[in-house]
Amino acid sequence: MTYDYDLFVIGAGSGGLAASKRAASYGAKVVIAEDDLVGGTCVIRGCIPKKLMVYGSHFPALFHDAAGYGWKVGEAELDWEYLMTVIDQEVRRLSQLHINFLNKAGVELIQSRATLLDPHTVEVDGRKVTADKILIAVGGRPFKPDIPGMEYSITSNEMFHLKTQPKHVVIIGSGYIGTEFACIMRGLGCEVTQLIRKNLILTGFDEDIRTEVQEGMTNYGIRVIQNTQMKQAERVPEGLKLTLSSGESEETVIGDVLLMATGRVPNVEGLGLENAGINVVPSTMEGHGYGTMNAIAVNEYSQSSQPNIFAVGDVTDRMNLTPVAIGEGRAFADSEFGNSRRVFSHDTIPTALFSTPEAATVGLTEAEAREKLGDDRVKIYRSRFRPLFHSLTGAPNKTMMKLVVDSDTDKVLGAHMVGESAAEIIQGVAIAVKMGATKKDFDATVGVHPSAAEEFVTMR
């Protein structure tokens, strides 16, 4: 049978863009459909605009720290409207850049929503199009639990488009999105309250990272309310009144912006998966008001239950990171169009948390290592110190570094850090961990002095 295209990609985010360009480079006739700005979550309402806000939020602390080095800095004032405008301009510039890359690669772009009609047919822009293979890369979307008053809340999508600077931001959620925005908004001068359902933020991270980041946030002036859930939100003359429940006790908090950072779910609604016979798998989000969401079920080659339909990125809910979506997309294109069948490895993937303090990690946490190997085989190396930079600023900032080692093989199983430049430092350490370096290899490496990073090769 003859098809209109060799590959139809639904979703022009990180995974879809990477896959479409790679497939086209092998000579495939490729089209990609997107009904939003090209670039996906990362470019439009995720990594890039968030990181720009992170940079902006650091200046007040830098102004303060400068005094410790003899600089006299005058009164500083944030122009909120200007910050939001220039971030939006940069987002749109990058989106157009990705369109240019598609054109250069020979990928056709249809700026419209696409829906599956059957395993080889897609309805897009008012017409039916056929393709030999279809790739679904529509990503995820913010999730709001079913709690009274949710209509007054916003998600991370809207945080980049606030017209005026909030005075008091209340954030519900203990994951990386809620934690990062708590630090961003505090740095930009807002009062911030973060509500978490358990004792510590960042479930799934190493315990030392969770503890150090939460302590640092508290020192930063963020109020973290632990072991508490929100029962309802209502509009009052003073703003938004939130009723909080902790066991049998209740309290209220009033803010002017309520950010629901209660997770993201695969963006499968309206895709027509049922028309193509594509299986989904449930992923239950625990807690009051949470429901069950579905992700597209795929095998190690990102292949769905329909042999010619594939899915990559957050819509599969495997490991929701931009570089992972890109890697999955390229592995798919290599396998299906490049005569180089391969699997993208989800092992030993580094990741960072752009909070204040910053954190980054690669490999196994201490708890994961103990569960996998047993307590006797796990050796921990840990260092906590005051960075040289802050010896003159008077700030209480601390840096924590940690190595998780298999005592039988001496192999470094995991590396974790909290402190300034954690992401930049862990990126380099990740190469060693991925290659299977031992603690002796770390010890034999000469440190760059004076630097924080040298601590990873001097810990004893």
pLDDT digits (tens, 9 = 90+) for 130-148: 999 999 999 999 999 999 9
Share of the chain above pLDDT 90, in %: 95
Question: Where does the pLDDT of residue 215 fall: very low under 50, low under 70, confident under 90, or very high at 90 and above?
Answer: very high
Kindly state whether residues 185 and 62 are assigned to the same domain.
no
Whether 344 is covered by a domain: the verdict is no
Whether 342 is covered by a domain: the verdict is no
Task: Using the 3D structure, point to which of 262, 296, 318 is the last residue of a domain.
Answer: 262
Kindly state whether residues 10 and 138 are assigned to the same domain.
yes
SS3 state at 27:
coil
Q: What is the longest distance spanned by two Cα atoms in the chain? A: 75
d(CA 128, CA 275): 14
> What is the structure's pLDDT at 293?
72
> What is the structure's pLDDT at 292?
59
Whether 33 is covered by a domain: the verdict is yes
Task: Using the 3D structure, point to which of 262, 284, 302 is the last residue of a domain.
Answer: 262
> What is the structure's pLDDT at 84?
98
d(CA 454, CA 10): 45
Report helix angle 207-219 to 366-373, nearest 10.
160
Report whether pLDDT(286) > 60: no
Read off the pLDDT of residues 58-102 as tens digits, 9 standing for 90 and up. 999 999 999 999 999 999 999 999 999 999 999 999 999 999 999
Question: Can you give the CATH number for the domain in which 407 is found?
Answer: 3.30.390.30
Kindly state whether residues 57 and 201 are assigned to the same domain.
no
Read off the pLDDT of residues 296-325 as tens digits, 9 standing for 90 and up. 999 999 999 999 999 999 999 999 999 999
Whether 346 is covered by a domain: the verdict is no
171 has which bridge partners?
194, 259
What would the DSSP string read from start to end of 310-379? EE-GGGGTS---HHHHHHHHHHHHHHHHSS-------SS--EEE-SSS-EEEEE--HHHHHHHH-GGGEE
Report whether pLDDT(290) > 60: no
Question: Where does the pLDDT of residue 1 fall: very low under 50, low under 70, confident under 90, or very high at 90 and above?
Answer: confident
Kindly state whether residues 358 and 242 are assigned to the same domain.
no
For the question of residue 449 being annotated catalytic, the response is yes
> What is the structure's pLDDT at 174?
96
H-type alpha helices, 188-318: 207-219, 273-276
> What is the structure's pLDDT at 291?
57
**Which distant-in-sequence residues (6+ apart) come within 8 Å of 55 by Cβ?**
none
Beta-carbon count within 10 A of 436 CB: 12
What predicted TM-score, i.e. pTM, was given to this entire model?
0.96
H-type alpha helices, 399-454: 422-435, 439-444
Task: Using the 3D structure, point to which of 241, 262, 283 is the last residue of a domain.
Answer: 262
Domain span at residue 246 reads 150-262
Kindly state whether residues 275 and 372 are assigned to the same domain.
no
| pLDDT: which is higher, 247 or 289 | 247
Overall domain count for the chain:
3
Question: Can you give the CATH number for the domain in which 99 is found?
Answer: 3.50.50.60
Kindly state whether residues 98 and 219 are assigned to the same domain.
no
Whether 227 is covered by a domain: the verdict is yes
Whether 269 is covered by a domain: the verdict is yes
Note whether 14 and 8 are within 8 A (CB): no
Kindly state whether residues 159 and 271 are assigned to the same domain.
no
> What is the structure's pLDDT at 282?
84
> What is the structure's pLDDT at 248?
82
Kindly state whether residues 179 and 124 are assigned to the same domain.
no
Whether 345 is covered by a domain: the verdict is no
> What is the structure's pLDDT at 297?
95
Report whether pLDDT(396) > 70: yes
Question: Where does the pLDDT of residue 287 fall: very low under 50, low under 70, confident under 90, or very high at 90 and above?
Answer: low
Kindly state whether residues 135 and 272 are assigned to the same domain.
yes
Mean pLDDT of 421-445: 98
Report whether pLDDT(285) > 90: no
Kindly state whether residues 119 and 84 are assigned to the same domain.
yes
Mean pLDDT of the chain: 96
Read off the pLDDT of residues 345-370 as tens digits, 9 standing for 90 and up. 999 999 999 999 999 999 999 999 99
Q: Which of 226, 230, 227, 228 is nearest to 218 (CA)?
A: 226
> What is the structure's pLDDT at 247?
82
**Which distant-in-sequence residues (6+ apart) come within 8 Å of 62 by Cβ?**
none
Mean pLDDT of 417-428: 98
Kindly state whether residues 269 and 131 are assigned to the same domain.
yes
d(CA 456, CA 422): 12
Kindly state whether residues 413 and 281 are assigned to the same domain.
no
Question: Where does the pLDDT of residue 288 fall: very low under 50, low under 70, confident under 90, or very high at 90 and above?
Answer: low
Residue whose tokens read 């700005």: 37
> What is the structure's pLDDT at 4?
98
**Which distant-in-sequence residues (6+ apart) come within 8 Å of 72 by Cβ?**
none
